[in-house]
């Protein structure tokens, strides 16, 4: 279903991998991997750090060799909030994102394309250089946060295989203590003759510049799979009486044609992201009870003169039913229940994306404290052109609106 049918490039370089000659074209590869417990939305942010770096390498006028790198997208495997399987799967990015849109910003390829193009699916692949990024052990103790990196002893046991594949390994693994920005890794490329690099614990490297024009170009390129958008659009039309034309939420097909605006209205419903599960324990002083959440939702519905609220939540069904009983009959609480084929094809990751999209198109959005899921919705709403005051809001612990607002990161063109 996902195999590449493109014509193979002309080969000009070759290496020997486990006594089997594998030919490589003139370009080189950057792989990256992330700490396994990290969730989907943090991983999206780490992708941006490396995509922006590759974008800069492509536009480098001083070193043509740096333009030959391609960024290999790590497959989505079993994540903490995805309950569909206990066995890691290798889900391509195309299932969740519009790959052609990503490519308009950075030179990315899927892992399966790397396998298909070079006929290495069932052979062992030895990555030339693996760098395990790690924090300096004394940095948080001393408070001296200076840009630096150095090869040091590993703080943790190293992995033998990568991306849950048994055939991707390396004989050259080093731990790189690192504090700084992703583009600082360019010196690693310049000081090596290797053609393939893997940066493990890639989340250690920071954004070169958070929230600037280049950041937002990359973010705008991260459009979801078109079918997921159509599923969300159909749901909004049928269940929430919303459509893009009336709601002024139409975007051009190509993100590069988007223009600054603040005229989006959104559907006639309130969008809520209510994170429960682990947040109830880890952020107990910031997360409202069901009753306190209900109070804030009810007050906002009255203020906006709306009668429907869409809730994206990981709360158990009994808590959802409790909130629904508190709101009815005056207000309707709507949640997304997928058709069987949607769940089978897109799994929990796709369901979460559909819910994010629906929240993004609401008249007004209220999120959860320090949730990257909520933060990604706020970014989507900035791209869609909503007024900031309808986007950067959070549910308060005590049932009022007296708590501090989330950080406001407005879009830059």
Nearest to 93 by CA among 4, 230, 225, 1: 225
Q: What is the pTM of this model?
A: 0.90
pLDDT at residue number 120: 63
pLDDT at residue number 13: 28
3-state secondary structure string across the chain: CCCCCCCCCCCCEEEEECCEEEEECCCEEEEECCCCCCCHHHHHHHHHHHHHHHHHHHCCCCCHHHHHEEEEECCECCCCCCCCCCCCCCECHHHCECHHHHHCCCCEEEHHHHHHHHCCCCCCEECCEEEEEECCCCHHHHCCCCCEEEEECCCCCCCCCCCCCCCEECCCEEEEEEECEHHHHHHHHHCCCCCEEEEECHHHCECCCCCCHHHHHHHHHCCECHHHHHHHHHHHHHHCCCCHHHHCCCCCCCHHHCCCCCCCCCEEEEEEEECCHHHHHHCCCCCCCHHHHHHHHHHHHHHHCCCEEEEEECCCHHHHHHHHHHHCCCCEEECCCCCHHHHHHHHHHHHHHHHHHHHHCEEEEEECCCCHHHHHHHHHHHHHCCCHHHCCCECCCCCCCCCCCCCCCCCCC
Mean pLDDT by 10 residues, the chain (413 residues): 31 32 66 93 97 95 88 89 68 97 98 78 84 88 83 91 89 95 96 94 96 98 98 98 97 98 98 92 89 97 98 96 97 97 93 97 97 97 98 95 94 98
pLDDT at residue number 88: 63
Q: Catalytic site residues? A: 38
pLDDT at residue number 11: 27
pLDDT at residue number 15: 32
């Amino acid at each position: 279903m996902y195999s590449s049918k493109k014509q193979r490039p002309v080969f000009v370089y070759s290496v020997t991998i486990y006594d089997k000659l594998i030919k490589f074209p003139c370009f080189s590869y950057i792989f990256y991997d992330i700490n396994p417990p990290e969730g989907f939305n943090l991983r999206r942010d780490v992708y941006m750090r490396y995509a922006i770096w590759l974008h800069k390498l492509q536009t480098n006028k001083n070193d043509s060799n740096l333009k030959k790198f391609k960024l290999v997208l790590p497959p989505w495997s079993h994540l903490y909030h995805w309950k569909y399987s206990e066995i890691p799967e290798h889900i391509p990015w195309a299932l969740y994102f519009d790959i052609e849109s990503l490519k308009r910003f950075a030179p990315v390829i899927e892992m399966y394309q790397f396998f298909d193009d070079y006929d290495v699916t069932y052979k062992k692949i030895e990555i030339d250089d693996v760098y395990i990024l790690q924090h300096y052990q004394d940095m948080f103790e001393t408070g001296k946060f200076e840009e630096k990196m150095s090869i040091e002893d590993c703080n943790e046991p190293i992995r033998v295989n990568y991306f849950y594949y048994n055939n991707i390994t390396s004989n050259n693994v080093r731990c790189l203590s690192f504090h700084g920005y992703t583009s600082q890794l360019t010196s690693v490329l310049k000081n090596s003759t290797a053609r393939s690099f893997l940066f493990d614990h890639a989340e250690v490297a920071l954004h070169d510049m958070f929230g600037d024009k280049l950041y937002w170009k990359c973010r705008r390129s991260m459009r979801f799979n078109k079918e997921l958008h159509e599923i969300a659009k159909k749901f909004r039309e049928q269940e929430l009486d919303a459509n893009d034309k009336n709601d002024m939420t139409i975007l051009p097909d190509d993100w590069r044609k988007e223009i600054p605006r603040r005229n989006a209205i959104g559907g006639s419903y309130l969008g809520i992201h209510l994170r429960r599960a682990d947040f109830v324990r880890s952020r107990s002083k910031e997360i409202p009870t069901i009753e306190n959440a209900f109070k804030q939702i009810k007050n906002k519905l009255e203020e906006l003169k709306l009668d429907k609220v869409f809730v994206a939540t990981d709360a158990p069904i009994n808590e959802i039913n409790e909130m629904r009983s508190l709101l009815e009959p005056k207000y309707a609480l709507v949640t997304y229940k997928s058709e069987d084929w949607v769940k089978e094809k897109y799994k929990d990751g796709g369901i979460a994306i559909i819910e994010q999209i629906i929240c993004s198109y609401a008249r007004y959005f209220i999120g959860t404290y320090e949730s990257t899921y909520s933060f990604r919705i706020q970014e989507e709403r900035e791209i869609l052109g909503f007024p900031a005051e309808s986007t950067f809001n959070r549910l308060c612990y005590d049932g009022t609106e007296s708590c501090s607002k989330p950080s406001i990161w407005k879009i830059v063109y």
